[in-house]
A and B are shown apart, each in its own frame.
Chain A
């Protein structure tokens, strides 16, 4: 299994690479449309601003090959912004269009709590999850974000910071997590291992 890490020039891709390496998986960074078209499995890590990610996908002409790969059933894991990009729009950059693979939009968490939602939080399972298999129900995961998708139909697990939001989504070959499994200790490693197994 070779995981293609979509590298759009922002954030700490190295930490995802290291996490995959520890699990014995091969990975390769790329931002070329040709590589994405040929990938066996795709991982879109994301930190920073929603606009930077969406603009990079379009400027590098990655949107079409990415959508095509997902349509063909190539396993995909979106992390943080990589999950948010799957929705229609985001309040963080309302003028831009997301990937429209999931219904709904990404909104700011309520200002009644401290933002960013930064640190370790737990999940609430909404329905059986393939990604969370073998992970204790009270496990903590590391979050660092201010925007999130509402707990819509594709969410298999929610978390809460001022409001419930989608923490894990699964739809056929498309997976997404709002937290950072690559920085979430043992439960995070287990989740990545589950993704690798599902993708194999």
Chain B
């Protein structure tokens, strides 16, 4: 009896459609958010993440509607993020059906946002998303969809985020995202060992071996991927069977 490693599909949405970027740019359509959510729920996904990649004020009602419709399909937890800048933004996402919210750029700009969210919803509902890019001997915190450096050290920021009340870190490697070369194991391992909260590894997944590696050497508690699931390159069920056969604890769907 021990905590299972989680497999988390991510829906990057623009309106009601799921899109997928390559190295954070160059988007293509990957399907309907609600249909994909229902499929992943049935296939044994452990959670689902929905991110609003447009994250613009005027498109907010569309995103909240997507959260509502996706949440209605799920019997697993839902995390929503993208463009959450204030406590009110987070309240709207939770009211629409999100169990957790992720914050990224807005938390870098104003770290107190993390504490405000944590006080209101509890640490278990606050996911600090960190986009990391390797620069010489350390990792830089990136903001605005991975395009700009925030001139901060990822390990320092992760620890600070946890002190402020984040209950989980969603760690994306900007270097690996969209490349399908595998997760960034040194990055994930460094962050996972530096913080006391669970770490979700993201960016670069393609093969089942990538997941096995990030759970063992990478010390990840969960792993997130998008296009390999959307494009049917990898079934969640077969991935979990592969991991289970290698003695990595996962929740096998019935």
Asked whether B254 is an interface residue with its Cβ less than 8 Å from the other chain, the reply is yes
Of the listed stretches B25-33, B70-78, B144-152, name the one at the interface; the rest are far from the partner chain.
B70-78
Q: Which residues of A contact B41 (CB under 8 A)?
A: 185
Q: In the complex the two chains form, is A48's CB within 8 Å of B122's CB?
A: yes
Please give me the residue from chain B that is nearest to A139 by CB atom.
Answer: B254
Tell me the smallest distance from the CB of B198 to a CB of chain A, in Å: 5
Please give me the residue from chain A that is nearest to B123 by CB atom.
Answer: A116
Bitwise, A135-179 to B at CB < 8 A (1) or not (0) is 010001011111000000000000111000000000000000000
A50 to B119, CA, bound (A): 11
Q: Which residues of B contact A120 (CB under 8 A)?
A: 3-4, 6, 46, 251
Q: In the complex the two chains form, is B222's CB within 8 Å of A19's CB?
A: no
Q: In the complex the two chains form, is A121's CB within 8 Å of B4's CB?
A: yes
Q: Which residues of B contact A47 (CB under 8 A)?
A: 99, 121-122, 124-125
Q: In the complex the two chains form, is B167's CB within 8 Å of A124's CB?
A: no
A198 to B9, CA, bound (A): 36
Of the listed stretches B90-98, B171-179, B180-188, B204-212, name the one at the interface; the rest are far from the partner chain.
B90-98
Asked whether B244 is an interface residue with its Cβ less than 8 Å from the other chain, the reply is no
Please give me the residue from chain B that is nearest to A160 by CB atom.
Answer: B1
Task: Write the residues of chain B forming the contact surface with A, with a CB cutoff of 8 angstroms.
Answer: 1-6, 41, 46, 71-72, 74-77, 94-95, 97-99, 119-125, 167-168, 196-198, 221-222, 251, 253-254
Q: Which residues of B contact A186 (CB under 8 A)?
A: 75, 254
Tell me the smallest distance from the CB of A78 to a CB of chain B, in Å: 16
Q: In the complex the two chains form, is A118's CB within 8 Å of B198's CB?
A: yes
Of the listed stretches A10-18, A28-36, A59-67, A96-104, name the one at the interface; the rest are far from the partner chain.
A10-18
CB-defined A-B contacts under 8 Å, sample of 28: A10-B121, A11-B94, A12-B94, A12-B97, A12-B99, A47-B122, A114-B197, A116-B124, A118-B167, A119-B3, A119-B46, A120-B251, A140-B251, A143-B3, A144-B99, A144-B124, A146-B124, A159-B1, A160-B1, A161-B3, A182-B75, A183-B76, A183-B77, A183-B99, A184-B75, A184-B76, A185-B75, A188-B75
A123 to B74, CA, bound (A): 23
Tell me the smallest distance from the CB of A32 to a CB of chain B, in Å: 20
Query: Chain A contact residues (Cβ within 8 angstroms of B): what range?
Result: 35 or more
A144 to B123, CA, bound (A): 9
Asked whether A200 is an interface residue with its Cβ less than 8 Å from the other chain, the reply is no
Bitwise, A100-132 to B at CB < 8 A (1) or not (0) is 000000000001001111111111100000000
List 11 extra interface pairs beyond A18-B71, A144-B124, A183-B74, CB under 8 A: A12-B99, A15-B97, A15-B99, A114-B198, A120-B4, A123-B1, A142-B46, A144-B167, A159-B1, A160-B2, A182-B75
A145 to B251, CA, bound (A): 19
Q: Which residues of A contact B99 (CB under 8 A)?
A: 12, 15, 47, 144, 183
| Interface hits, A1-57 → B, CB 8 Å | 10-12, 14-15, 18-19, 22, 47-49
Tell me the smallest distance from the CB of B80 to a CB of chain A, in Å: 11
Tell me the smallest distance from the CB of B64 to a CB of chain A, in Å: 12
Q: In the complex the two chains form, is A146's CB within 8 Å of B123's CB?
A: yes
Q: Which residues of B contact A145 (CB under 8 A)?
A: 124
Q: Which residues of B contact A180 (CB under 8 A)?
A: 77
Q: In the complex the two chains form, is A114's CB within 8 Å of B121's CB?
A: no
Asked whether A70 is an interface residue with its Cβ less than 8 Å from the other chain, the reply is no
Interface centre among A116, A118, A121, A161 (most CB of B within 10 A): A118
Q: Which residues of A contact B167 (CB under 8 A)?
A: 116, 118, 144
A117 to B160, CA, bound (A): 20
A32 to B95, CA, bound (A): 20
A69 to B129, CA, bound (A): 43
Asked whether A199 is an interface residue with its Cβ less than 8 Å from the other chain, the reply is no
Please give me the residue from chain A that is nearest to B119 by CB atom.
Answer: A49
Tell me the smallest distance from the CB of A114 to a CB of chain B, in Å: 5
Q: In the complex the two chains form, is B97's CB within 8 Å of A142's CB?
A: no
Contact of B121 among A48, A116, A160, A183 (CB under 8 A): A48
Q: Which residues of B contact A111 (CB under 8 A)?
A: 196
Please give me the residue from chain A that is nearest to B93 by CB atom.
Answer: A12
Q: In the complex the two chains form, is A116's CB within 8 Å of B251's CB?
A: no
